[in-house]
Structure 1
Amino acid sequence: MTKLVLIDGSSYLYRAFHALPPLTNAAGEPTGALFGVVNMLRGHLKEKPEHIAFVVDAPGKTFRDEMYPDYKANRPPMPDELRAQVEPMLEIVAALGIPILREPGVEADDVIGTLALQASAQGLAVTISTGDKDFAQLVRQPAADAGPVALVNTMNGSRMDSDAAVIDKFGVRADQIVDLLALMGDAIDNVPGVEKCGPKTAAKWLAEHGSLDGVIANAAAIKGKVGDNLRAALARLPLNRELVTIKTDVALAQAPADLALRERDADALRGLYARYGFNQALKELDGGAATGAVANREPGVARGGGFVAAAAPASQPEIAPALSAPGEYETVLTEAQLTDWIAKLQAADEFAFDSETDALDPMRANLVGLSFSVEPGRACYLPLGHDYPGAPAQLSRAQVLDALRPLLSDPSKKKLGQHGKYDLHVLRRHGIDVRGYADDTMLESFVLSAGIARHDMDSLAKRHLGYDTIKYEAVAGKGAKQIPFSQVAIDDATRYAAEDADITLRLHRVLRAKLQAEPTLEAVYRDIEMPLVPVLARVEANGVLVDADELRRQSAELGRRMLAAQQQATELAGRSFNLDSPKQLGALLFDELKLPALVKTPGGAPSTNEEALEAIADQHELPRIILEYRGLAKLRGTYTDKLPEMVNPDTGRVHTSYHQAGAATGRLSSSDPNLQNIPIRSEEGRRIRTAFIAPPGRKLVACDYSQIELRIMAHLSEDPALLRAFAEGADIHRATAAEVFGKPIAEVSGNERRAAKAINFGLIYGMGAFGLAKQLGVGRGEAQDYIALYFSRYPGVRDYMERTRQQARDAGFVETVFGRRLALDYIHARNAAQRAGAERAAINAPMQGTAADIIKRAMVQVDAWLADNRERALMILQVHDELVFEADADFVPILLEQVPALMSGAARLRVPLVVDSGVGDNWDEAH
């Protein structure tokens, strides 16, 4: 059957622009969106369609603007960086031999819709290449007298070619999509639907009443608030339907038969590819090997045989096509297969592994299966605990673990994983201490690109390999119907689990090459991040003992204080109201009490968040009471109520999880529970710390870096006065006050020291005169004078800040002392607020990131020292710049001698690293 491919160029241009990083060529011209679209085009051309068209919106208004003047009124203008890529895109499309269609007065959707139905009526097989959900209304299954119309989204690999596929995606048939959209509305096109009517509600109504007309006819019978909303919107629903209906009768000069793929203009393509740095495409054009291409999310990385952007170093390796091909996976059910795979693992230089379990908490999860891969595209799955009716016989867990133990515990055999700390926990709980854990793809990605949001395997596979992984929900279901992995059919489990190990190995091959091209980043990965993985696993497994009874007593006390705050708020308001309702609170504060709304929500409404209440707390007592109530409620809900419930029944302890790939600066974060955010300055927060206790015969020891970020500032700035103050062991805030106010240290007042402290810490975080004035309660002019005095006494700090800003502008990133890199995407932004934020981050990141690197290095060194003393002392917590230990009482003096020395020696700075230590029966006493 003859094929026609209709490409929604406008959709892909925008999607590629927002999905890809801001790539540029050697001349600094933006290429990110162009890169994504051209990759997609080349992918379509591999399929050799007989007919094809690239359809884009024509400039000017359309018939929908005449029907509804506010149509698309809320869309911002096209960004300059995107506009600059439109003409180059069209030049490349034309040079590829693809017809370009732009029809005035209608949208690209209408041109595509008209051609699709014309071609279908002529018996052609139509593929619409788009990511726009509106096109689902055009899906057609093949018929005796008509060809099929299918949607393909090359950005996620999905295909929609039947009513069943449309129903699976949207819950309605293709012929009901227009009615679904009319009810839901479209925020992007500024078509308001029925308020609070999402896709599920709209699909439910259409299932019950058949069509939009049926919903309208039965609107009176639909109950609840959403029924009221429907009745309020009835008048505009017919217009909505017209606006979202794709026009299929546009008078076009071209018919489907006129859209034949022409011969490409190789000379023009060669010049364009060279100009925009599309090196692999240029190689392919000149006779190099070619494979299907997909869009990258990072500069300089080819996926699936795609091409490398000019922004990449010349030495950047390209990725073999095999890394994006489907894999071959084996289910291991016999002893002979197990023996064969163990031999493969023994013979391999490195292998990837992954565990499948029945829970997300590694401290409670039971092992269901293991997967291994020794080469890209080949992997196996060993099911160990699938217990559904009819499940095939599996090797016993004990037998398999005994057979694997020598291999997994051999430090000379290199293992790699994706977020492997989880797997280390699981295997430790099942009697295997994994050693030789050499590489982790999550951490490779994080070190290379700390600023991106996601480093999970699915995202990395898509970004670096062009590979769409099988999602957990695809094999286990989702929501209330989700089954445990032990209930997943073994064939499905093999495809899912073996793929995990296979893709991890493929990713490692790609990411290792990238790290090797960046020696400084590779050192951060090898010397800091990877050695920390087993250390964090031990700290998490050690856990911390909590006094559940003490926490319950604190919960009761916090409850009484919350009740008192509620009563006081009611008295101040003169009536009762819900303190937890922002809507009621806003009405009370701003409508009844007429307090000024100094902070607004993104939608422009008066805000009642913490910042907003702080801003008006000096004008009325009620905001302060609300803030007190919220603080108490947060402590109770987050800690005193929750921590007793989080005690592990097997260990009797609370086990937090530390995240290495969370903060772009490299700082560790913790969750389940988050022990990094317990307030230290409030009495209530300190009381919570009293519930973290040592068992009988033991003590808690806390070792905390003193003013580490200020010391790093002194090191980086090399300011003589700052270096001298730290070298002499002076009170740095008092010393700063003496410098700024020009008086002897002994004469510095408390208020002057407080101002100096605010300046010292404020400058680290890029605070300006406005912020300092607000913090000190002085005028902006006075605050500016303080800052000017500070810089006159510490000119090295001012010079460092300006040097760092300039480095950020020149390089697009800043580095820590150890070479960790933080990219600053907005350092050249036209938006002044975004640019200022990037400059503040540029100044702060080297200090905060270096502090993170130092304590990570310290943890590795301390853990190594503790290796021979694990029965006598445990590292149990890391909180910002503090390490907490649990130790035998008679071992505490040795700990206090060794640990601060190791922490102080974790970095060589121009000023001494000072570590404060404390001992107690609980964390508060020790801090």
Structure 2
Amino acid sequence: MKRLVLIDGSSYLYRAFHALPPLNNEAGEPTGALFGVVNMLRAHLKEQPDYIAFVVDAPGPTFRDDLYPQYKANRKAMPDDLRAQVEPMCEIVQALGFRILRVGGVEADDVIGTLAMQGAGEGLEVTISTGDKDFAQLVRPGIALVNTMSGSRYDSEASVVDKFGVRPAQIIDFLALMGDAVDNIPGVDKCGPKTAAKWLGEYGTLDGVIAHADAIKGKIGDNLRAALPRLPLNRELTTIKTDVALEYRPQDLVLQPRATDALRTLYARYGFKQALRELEGGAAGADADAGRISVRGTAAGYARAPAPASAEPLDPALATQGEYECVLTDAQLAAWIAKLQAADAFAFDTETDSLDPMRARLVGISLAVETGHAAYVPLGHTYPGAPAQLPGETVLAALKPLFADPAKRKIGHHGKYDLHVLRRHGIEVAGYAEDTMLESFVLNATATRHDMDSLARRYLGYDTITYEQVAGKGAKAISFAQVALDDATRYAGEDADVTLRLHRALATKLAAEPALERVYREIEMPLVPVLERVEANGVLIDADELRRQSNDLGKRMLVAQQKATELAGRSFSLDSPKQLGQLLFEELKLPALVKTPSGQPSTNEEALEAIAELHELPRVILDYRGLAKLRSTYTDKLPEMVNADTGRVHTSYHQAGAATGRLASNDPNLQNIPIRTDDGRRIRNAFVAPAGRRIVSCDYSQIELRIMAHLSQDAGLLRAFESGADIHRATAAEVFGKTLDEVSGNERRAAKAINFGLMYGMSAFGLARNLGIARGEAQDYIALYFSRYPGVREFMERTREQARERGYVETVFGRRLYLDNINARNQGLRAGAERAAINAPMQGTAADIIKRAMVDIDDWLAAHRDRALMVLQVHDELVFEVDAAFLDTLLAEVPQRMAAAAELRVPLVVDSGVGDNWGQAH
């Protein structure tokens, strides 16, 4: 079995500093902490793991600071002697060939936790090298904790119980009760490890302790009851995240070739004689024959902004475990049908055998009409010995009138999936009124992830049963149809119950924010059934045309490979970052203008663009990569994604994706097909209309610029749009003091770059690079622009100031985007937030407008679904499949409805096109 070692670098540096006596080299530089860490690393190298990484905290705040501003507030500043050892430590770690991982917005613990769970799920033997007791929560088969300094090892539930008195699954609750003085997390006063372990032994979980708080007598009971409001937050703070979004996998963490010369210099400088002897003798850390892989971590979606949502449960009853019934008899079903008939609303969820709603088969349905109680009706559990279940047609026939009743409000979580599944099983859902994923997303798009597990922890203080706990993961995962009914009932019943609890918690918060509630009620919820219909409609593709394009792309890739070989003077792999980096930066001596997070020369797109003017090879590589991406992502893949039942491709649209409110598309992603290249446009030619129909494209013209004019109220910009003239030519005429006819092509191009660039925070440097002019000239262009359009400058300054004061910006319709770094001390982070503050109102308002248009158009199409279908939404564009005889009617109606989706100070203009395929229509 292959091994993955994850080293908690931050923990070891501090522990070594405090554990070892003060040491100095001959020059008087402190070396104690460095000595301890280096010895620990050498020990790991001697064990020769297959994958290994050194993980440290990134600078800046994390999501825990936003949840609890006092988090780690009492920590003293790093001692000067320790700070002086950080940089040499990183130099040695990197020279030894370890990857140094830093991910902003989370702690090293969360990165380690995520990689550990991924590694164990993929069959690796994972060792977490740390002295931090918090990691005991991760111990399970395949994951062990080892403290190289003390020699302790925890690799089983029994070993954790022996040490702490609780099981690994109880460690989080154990820590929440005790608190953590180091991290400034106050626990229950006077509650030490023995008391915490005793309570958890009696009541099982933190929720159980909370539920029985009144039964605990004496002063310690009083202390517990006083601490109850903060315990759910404690649990969230002490939970190691295992779902951090990372751009690498455990298998990427291969030991890199060590830099022997650098190590020799560093070991000699700091007086590490034994390490130096081993280096010269080759005793440890042999060079690994592995290519360098650029790794970059991201932590999007964690709470960083001032948020209206509290992590505290609104009602203790919402955070208690429920009672769930498995419905196996006609009498049970009849009783639940009566409950549903008597209720004004009910929560529901479907269990299926696939994540693809267009292929999934129904395995069961869960229902809830009151918190704490739910039913699971199994329909398709097929494991050996499974109890007899009610016939699916009987259950669906009984439920169909309830789901079809528009007066009976339905509550779901990411319910669009469930609407698909039920429709494909003969039930058209009406009255879908509440969606907890969208309630959370509208309330604060960036405060948390919007999956049910994350929301339950944040808003209910409740830990749900995960899918992996009942169905397993990786190679050992089973279908939900194979899950035992007892487990399935607990899991599925909880889904419906928690959905209802979340709705009650989130609805109260939304009601306190009328503008946000309007966004939820008038834009997001009406859009759910619309998107479900668009996805179900799908789009027809010409697989033969895509195969022809794949063949052509393949030939051109081969030409590019041959050209690259000629330019290099030797053969090499265009797909190998290691070989490419060696060729560009070592052999051709091109400057490495872009570096990876670990400081190595990068060969990504940005890096190659930066040197493309210095040598022909980088441009050839970029061309090759562009062709390869089109082929692998679209021309090869799309034919494989045709649904066997419908003969069409069905994408999925995500409402709770981009914080600005823009829809995201995936499986396949049809919003990222390049439009500025001939090859990208050719791919659109493969999206076709069936016989007797045409494709219609309706696209908002320069909508974000029009929103800029509306928001800034700049007289010149308003006048330019009201005139109906080419906005970029009109801007150029205004800026350069010319008539429209006198404006040159270059002047119009410059005006267009400024118009769009300002919305995205483009600097003079960026404009200069975009136009190929001197930075001073670009700065003059921007200054001239603002002199002609002073209202735009005032709007930008006003927006930045409001963002700094409020912590968020708003769209025209009241949607909020919280800006976590708007008041950050780090200039780079702050500047990025300020750019987002300018752009988000435009992009978010554009998203709101097209969503409103889609709802209105879908309502109009209800009477014409046999003659026209809405089949795609791509940013500011809607695509339709239309009977030829209905074409004139649709072209008269749809653009008008799109233009009427918002009342701005300038007209909304919609461009339309018609063709046999999307390429012709666009």
1:61 Cα offset (Å): 3.7
1:168 Cα offset (Å): 2.7
Q: Tell me, what secondary structure is at the counterpart of 2:735? A: helix
Question: Taking structure 1 as reference, are residues 925 and 311 closer, same or farther at Cα in structure 2, changes over 3 Å only?
Answer: closer
2:141 aligned partner, one-letter code = D
The partner residue of 2:704 within 702, 709, 712 is 709
Return structure 1 stretches of 4+ with deviation > 3 angstroms.
57-62, 64-68, 70-91, 130-134, 177-184, 256-261, 284-292, 296-299, 309-318
Query: Which stretch has the larger CA shift, 60-69 or 580-589?
Result: 60-69
Q: Tell me if 1:293 matches 2:250.
A: no
2:374 aligned partner, one-letter code = A
Q: Tell me, what secondary structure is at the counterpart of 1:400? A: helix
Question: What residue in structure 1 maps to residue 34 of structure 2?
Answer: 69
Q: Tell me, what secondary structure is at the counterpart of 1:658? A: strand
Question: What residue in structure 2 maps to residue 549 of structure 1?
Answer: 544
Question: What residue in structure 2 maps to residue 168 of structure 1?
Answer: 141
Q: Tell me if 1:620 matches 2:615.
A: yes
Question: What residue in structure 2 maps to residue 865 of structure 1?
Answer: 860
Find the aligned partners of 1:497 and 1:286 in 2 and give their Cα distance.
32
Partner deviation per Cα, 1:262-285 (whole Å, 9 max, x = no partner): xxxxxxxxxxxxxxxxxxxxxx99
Partner deviation per Cα, 1:324-363 (whole Å, 9 max, x = no partner): 1111000000011001111111112221100000011000
Find the aligned partners of 1:623 and 1:90 in 2 and give their Cα distance.
48
Q: Tell me, what secondary structure is at the counterpart of 1:761? A: helix
Gaps of 5+ in 1: 1-10, 16-56, 92-104, 106-129, 135-150, 185-198, 204-255, 262-283, 300-308
Find the aligned partners of 2:578 and 2:361 in 1 and give their Cα distance.
45
Q: How does 1:305-454 map to 2 (within 5 A)?
A: 319-452=314-447, 454=449
Q: How does 1:68-467 map to 2 (within 5 A)?
A: 68-69=33-34, 85=70, 166-168=139-141, 170=143, 177-178=146-147, 293-295=231-233, 319-452=314-447, 454-467=449-462
Partner deviation per Cα, 1:477-509 (whole Å, 9 max, x = no partner): 111111111111111100111111111111111
Question: What residue in structure 2 maps to residue 742 of structure 1?
Answer: 737
1:317 Cα offset (Å): 10
Q: How does 1:636-651 map to 2 (within 5 A)?
A: 636-651=631-646
Find the aligned partners of 1:87 and 1:479 in 2 and give their Cα distance.
36
Question: What residue in structure 2 maps to residue 772 of structure 1?
Answer: 767
Answer yes or no: is the 8 Å Cα contact 1:665–1:845 preserved in 2. yes
Question: Taking structure 1 as reference, are residues 827 and 59 closer, same or farther at Cα in structure 2, changes over 3 Å only?
Answer: farther
Find the aligned partners of 1:259 and 1:582 in 2 and give their Cα distance.
50
Question: What residue in structure 2 maps to residue 268 of structure 1?
Answer: none
Identity %: 69
Q: Tell me if 1:662 matches 2:600.
A: no
1:297 Cα offset (Å): 10
Question: What residue in structure 2 maps to residue 477 of structure 1?
Answer: 472
2:468 aligned partner, one-letter code = E
Find the aligned partners of 2:306 and 2:770 in 1 and give their Cα distance.
43
Answer yes or no: is the 8 Å Cα contact 1:332–1:383 preserved in 2. yes
Q: How does 1:682-761 map to 2 (within 5 A)?
A: 682-761=677-756
Question: Taking structure 1 as reference, are residues 841 and 624 closer, same or farther at Cα in structure 2, changes over 3 Å only?
Answer: same
1:908 aligned partner, one-letter code = E
Question: What residue in structure 2 maps to residue 681 of structure 1?
Answer: 676
Question: What residue in structure 1 maps to residue 89 of structure 2?
Answer: none
Answer yes or no: is the 8 Å Cα contact 1:551–1:691 preserved in 2. yes
Question: Taking structure 1 as reference, are residues 754 and 434 closer, same or farther at Cα in structure 2, changes over 3 Å only?
Answer: same
Question: Taking structure 1 as reference, are residues 703 and 166 closer, same or farther at Cα in structure 2, changes over 3 Å only?
Answer: closer
Question: Taking structure 1 as reference, are residues 469 and 750 closer, same or farther at Cα in structure 2, changes over 3 Å only?
Answer: same
Find the aligned partners of 1:689 and 1:493 in 2 and give their Cα distance.
44
Partner deviation per Cα, 1:181-208 (whole Å, 9 max, x = no partner): 9899xxxxxxxxxxxxxx9xx99xxxxx
Q: Tell me, what secondary structure is at the counterpart of 2:469? A: helix
Question: Taking structure 1 as reference, are residues 159 and 337 closer, same or farther at Cα in structure 2, changes over 3 Å only?
Answer: farther
Question: What residue in structure 2 maps to residue 885 of structure 1?
Answer: 880
Question: Taking structure 1 as reference, are residues 530 and 767 closer, same or farther at Cα in structure 2, changes over 3 Å only?
Answer: same
Question: Taking structure 1 as reference, are residues 181 and 377 closer, same or farther at Cα in structure 2, changes over 3 Å only?
Answer: farther
Find the aligned partners of 1:260 and 1:492 in 2 and give their Cα distance.
32
Q: Tell me, what secondary structure is at the counterpart of 1:666? A: coil
Question: Structure 2 length normalisation: TM-score?
Answer: 0.73
The partner residue of 2:846 within 846, 851, 856 is 851
Bigger relative contact order, structure 1 or 2 (CA pairs below 8 A, ≥6 apart): 2
Bigger Rg, structure 1 or 2: 1
Answer yes or no: is the 8 Å Cα contact 2:516–2:816 preserved in 1. yes
Question: Taking structure 1 as reference, are residues 131 and 724 closer, same or farther at Cα in structure 2, changes over 3 Å only?
Answer: closer
Answer yes or no: is the 8 Å Cα contact 1:814–1:823 preserved in 2. yes
1:62 Cα offset (Å): 3.3
Question: What residue in structure 2 maps to residue 209 of structure 1?
Answer: none
Question: Taking structure 1 as reference, are residues 618 and 872 closer, same or farther at Cα in structure 2, changes over 3 Å only?
Answer: same
Partner deviation per Cα, 1:583-609 (whole Å, 9 max, x = no partner): 100111111111111111111111111
Query: Which stretch has the larger CA shift, 839-848 or 467-476?
Result: 467-476
1:68 Cα offset (Å): 4.3
Find the aligned partners of 2:902 and 2:670 in 1 and give their Cα distance.
26
1:168 aligned partner, one-letter code = P
Answer yes or no: is the 8 Å Cα contact 1:353–1:501 preserved in 2. yes
Answer yes or no: is the 8 Å Cα contact 1:872–1:891 preserved in 2. yes
Find the aligned partners of 1:856 and 1:382 in 2 and give their Cα distance.
35
Find the aligned partners of 1:911 and 1:355 in 2 and give their Cα distance.
46
1:69 Cα offset (Å): 2.5
Question: Taking structure 1 as reference, are residues 647 and 183 closer, same or farther at Cα in structure 2, changes over 3 Å only?
Answer: farther
Find the aligned partners of 1:360 and 1:259 in 2 and give their Cα distance.
42
Partner deviation per Cα, 1:655-713 (whole Å, 9 max, x = no partner): 00000000000000100000000011111011100000000000000000000000000
Answer yes or no: is the 8 Å Cα contact 1:316–1:517 preserved in 2. no
Question: Taking structure 1 as reference, are residues 747 and 77 closer, same or farther at Cα in structure 2, changes over 3 Å only?
Answer: closer
Question: What residue in structure 2 maps to residue 509 of structure 1?
Answer: 504
Answer yes or no: is the 8 Å Cα contact 1:708–1:913 preserved in 2. yes
Find the aligned partners of 1:714 and 1:691 in 2 and give their Cα distance.
37
1:75 Cα offset (Å): 6.2
1:649 aligned partner, one-letter code = A
Q: How does 1:600-615 map to 2 (within 5 A)?
A: 600-615=595-610
Question: What residue in structure 1 maps to residue 870 of structure 2?
Answer: 875
Answer yes or no: is the 8 Å Cα contact 2:309–2:444 preserved in 1. no
Partner deviation per Cα, 1:530-575 (whole Å, 9 max, x = no partner): 0000000000000000000110111011000000110111111111
Question: What residue in structure 1 maps to residue 899 of structure 2?
Answer: 904
1:133 Cα offset (Å): 9.8
Question: What residue in structure 1 maps to residue 909 of structure 2?
Answer: 914
Q: Tell me, what secondary structure is at the counterpart of 1:510? A: helix
1:154 Cα offset (Å): 12
Answer yes or no: is the 8 Å Cα contact 1:555–1:641 preserved in 2. yes
Find the aligned partners of 1:257 and 1:611 in 2 and give their Cα distance.
54
Find the aligned partners of 1:899 and 1:750 in 2 and give their Cα distance.
33
The partner residue of 1:801 within 771, 792, 796 is 796
Answer yes or no: is the 8 Å Cα contact 1:701–1:926 preserved in 2. yes
Find the aligned partners of 1:792 and 1:782 in 2 and give their Cα distance.
15
Q: Tell me, what secondary structure is at the counterpart of 1:704? A: strand
Find the aligned partners of 1:564 and 1:543 in 2 and give their Cα distance.
36
Partner deviation per Cα, 1:884-911 (whole Å, 9 max, x = no partner): 0001001010000000000000000000
2:351 aligned partner, one-letter code = E
Quote the RMSD (CA, aligned, Å). 3.8
